[in-house]
Amino acid sequence: MPLIRIKSLPFEQESKVAEAVTSLSRAVSDAAKIPLHHIMVTWEYLPAGHYAHHGQVVNNQPETTHPLLVDLIAPNFNTEAQIAAMLELIAHTISEQIPIEKNNIFINFTPAYSDGVYDEGHVVEWDL
């Protein structure tokens, strides 16, 4: 059940976002040994002019400023090492697929708790 939500400004040059979210889904699935049908990745564009970084507003996604904003929501039973590995994998995979520098990606991890997630028609309880 990792959910990865990515937000960026629109890209000035053509970017293969569909391929990037597919690659990211597969990379997380393979690395974490989680079936692909449990991985969710979304990419949303912020409206031009609606993102300030260092007090500056821009209309398109720069490669070196205005970091991509990524939220990773995953079960709370992951260890610190597993979380760190997922964060690194996400940043690496995105930077390989999209014209953005790896050090221009901001990722926030939010733990999901047993009985705190509704998925596939029911409240999910972790079986540990």
Instruction: Report residue 1's pLDDT band, with 50, 70 and 90 as the boundaries.
Output: confident
Q: Does 128 fall in a domain?
A: no
Q: What are 27-83's pLDDT values in tens digits?
A: 999 999 999 999 999 999 999 999 999 999 999 999 999 999 999 999 999 999 999
Tally the domains of the chain: 1
Strands of 2-55, DSSP E: 3-8, 40-45, 52-53
Q: Does 48 fall in a domain?
A: yes
Residue 30 maps to which CATH number? 3.30.429.10
Return the higher-pLDDT residue of 128 and 40: 40
What's the confidence (pLDDT) of residue 15? 84
Helices 80-97 and 17-32: crossing angle in degrees, nearest 10, is: 150
Which amino acid is located at 48 in the chain? A
Whole-structure pTM value: 0.93
Q: Does 125 fall in a domain?
A: no
Q: Does 56 fall in a domain?
A: yes
Q: Give the residue numbers spanning the domain of 66.
A: 3-118
What's the confidence (pLDDT) of residue 19? 95
Q: Does 8 fall in a domain?
A: yes
